[in-house]
Amino acid sequence: MYRPLLAVFIALAGVEARADLITNGSFESTTPAVGAGTFVLFTPGSTGVTGWTVVGAAGTNIGVTSTTFTQSGISFSAQNGSNEVDLTGLTNRDTEGLQQTIATTIGDSYTLSFFVANVDSPSTGFGVTSTVDVFANGTSLGAFTNNCTTCTTSWVWQQFSDTFTATSASTTLTFLNGDPTNDNANGLDSVSLVDNGPATVPAGVPEPFSIVLLGSGLLGLAGWRRLRSA
């Protein structure tokens, strides 16, 4: 009697649990590996950050930094795991960053989420704000800025998210350093992307959640009738 209802609840959980489509969103896998307390630089064209391609003008780079790395009395702890990306690298230009191409379904809505880190320490060369410019297939999704002013001894993470509708069978997400040249710290970590399903549900077609609730109600009614008969 209870098994059908259990199946409905499992289906409901499946609707709510959406898989992350980003590979290596916390930058834990790199070649070479990042040692504790250190960082590794990657230049444009490099695929040393698993799942990602480094982009930028010639002579630029990004850095994948260990969560235990410190410099000038500032600690650079990752938002998640052992590594994070510093989009400024050692070149400090707004053309450097990284990108990843994901298979997408035309017409589906996608939610992109990520964290940006900032430290307010202009005297050390680490600037006062952190801005990440984000693009989907070359179209800007916005400039996302962490304006933390109390983060003077370690950088602090702020989460951002944006939703877009896929217009092609693949989408290239690009994250670029948006800080000025006198700011040498701009953290990125915990990038994720989930498929929300069709952006527009045709009139008269119930959404998956509604279908599950309807099935739940019908099965519950059937169970109540069986109990009454017994």
Architecture of domain 19-222: Sandwich (2.60)
Q: What is the pLDDT of residue 168?
A: 98
Half-sphere exposure of 225 (CA within 13 A, CB side): 6
Element (H, E) at 216: helix 208-229
Q: What is the pLDDT of residue 91?
A: 87
Q: What is the pLDDT of residue 203?
A: 53
Residues in the chain where the model's pLDDT stays below 50: 1-16, 205, 207, 209-216, 218-224, 227-228, 230
- Of 199, 140, 144, the closest CA to residue 173 belongs to 140
Task: Tokens for 158, please give them.
Answer: 């702020």
Contacts of 203 (CB under 8 A, 6+ apart): none
**pTM, 2 dp:** 0.82
Tell how far CA 60 is from the center of its chain.
23
Q: What are the domain boundaries of the chain?
A: 19-222
Q: What is the pLDDT of residue 61?
A: 97
Q: What is the pLDDT of residue 206?
A: 52
Q: What is the DSSP string of 189-208?
A: EEEEEEEEEESSPPTT---H
Contacts of 116 (CB under 8 A, 6+ apart): 130, 131, 132, 144, 145, 146, 157, 158, 160, 186, 187, 188
Structural contact between residues 196 and 18, judged by C-beta atoms closer than 8 angstroms: yes
